[in-house]
Structure 1
Amino acid sequence: MDAIDEQIVADLTRNARVSYAELAGRVLLSRNAVRQRIERLERQGHIAGYTIVRAGDDTGDVVSALVFVYRQDRLRGGDVLAALKRIPEVVICEILSGDFDIMVRLEAPSLERVRGIWEDIAKMPGVLDTVTALTLSSVVNRQRGRRSSAVED
């Protein structure tokens, strides 16, 4: 990502409905060039989705789960990582040493959505098996507001 991509992502973060024309004026490119950049950012996983927030619906209730993923081939499992990056509810994805290959933290609005994501992960080509644990309560959480650049690259 270059500085123009960063500006586009920042503007979309503030307002995902901003027009290509308005973005183009801000970054001094044509509308078509902005559209192509946004499509590329989506393909690369830098933009994983757009979120709707309804007024008065900010309860903050989420279902959290950890999904430990075993890949068929640790060294050639990049497709699994790319697919995980495209799931908006994946808030953390880390490659591990030891028994598990990948640890994924999900935050979803419902248990049904967690189950659906788990099913999608389990069906991914290259995934051998998964182990899932639901979060019952949070005692310490110092991650809020921090982002790991390693997962986003």
Structure 2
Amino acid sequence: MSLNAHLDELDKKILNALMVNARVPYAELAKKFNVSAGTIHVRVEKMKSTGVILGTKVEVCPKKLGYDVCCFIGINLKSAKDYPSALAQLKALDEVVEAYYTTGNYNIFVKLMTRSIDELQKVLIDKIQQIEEVQSTETLISLQNPISRDVHP
């Protein structure tokens, strides 16, 4: 598998359509793109096997589930060798929904969701800052998320 899968125009059209609605029937896509349903199936399977399509998922609204606080935490580790251990401990926290190993001011940058500021404070004090490998943190609270989208082929 190459790092960048080659997608032709039909692959891109199929991928864009699936990104809008992953449940659209292959027969409907076939009619829309003037090809057979078998062609759509083969193309989708190819994109799955090359890792272009990683899966499908249900998108939920965190606010509707009571998660009112979204924040980003920049984490500085005591040493670069502490990364695997710190990451394993962060992965165990349900509140951490994304994590990135970064260059710049922080070693790790995480996205965290909590139901309240009080819960955020408890997670910071009782969980993240208790990780032995963490030297310091900086928290940025998100006020809104005006842009959220996937990359397009």
Match of 2:80 among 61, 74, 87: 74
1:80-109 deviation digits (Å, cap 9, x = unpaired) = 100100111111011001221000100111
Q: 1:127 to 1:59 in 2, by over 3 A?
A: closer
How high is the TM-score relative to the length of structure 1? Answer: 0.52
Q: Do residues 117 (structure 1) and 123 (structure 2) align?
A: yes
Match of 1:132 among 118, 135, 139: 139
For the 8 Å contact 2:76–2:137, the answer to whether it is kept is: yes
Deviation at 1:76, TM superposition (A): 3.0
Match of 1:106 among 112, 127, 135: 112
For the 8 Å contact 1:67–1:118, the answer to whether it is kept is: no
Q: What are the ranges of 5 or more consecutive residues in structure 2 without an aligned counterpart?
A: 1-62
For the 8 Å contact 2:99–2:109, the answer to whether it is kept is: yes
**Structure 1 runs, 4 residues or longer, greater than 6 Å off:** none
CA distance in 1, matches of 2:87, 2:98: 11
Q: 1:61 to 1:98 in 2, by over 3 A?
A: closer
Moved more, 96-105 or 74-83: 74-83
CA distance in 1, matches of 2:76, 2:112: 17
1:15-74 deviation digits (Å, cap 9, x = unpaired) = xxxxxxxxxxxxxxxxxxxxxxxxxxxxxxxxxxxxxxxxxx945552101000000011
How high is the TM-score relative to the length of structure 2? Answer: 0.52
CA distance in 1, matches of 2:128, 2:77: 11
Q: Do residues 91 (structure 1) and 108 (structure 2) align?
A: no
Secondary structure at 1:76 match in 2? helix
Q: 1:61 to 1:86 in 2, by over 3 A?
A: closer
Deviation at 1:133, TM superposition (A): 0.8
Q: What are the ranges of 5 or more consecutive residues in structure 1 without an aligned counterpart?
A: 1-56, 144-153
Per the alignment, residue 31 of structure 1 pairs with none
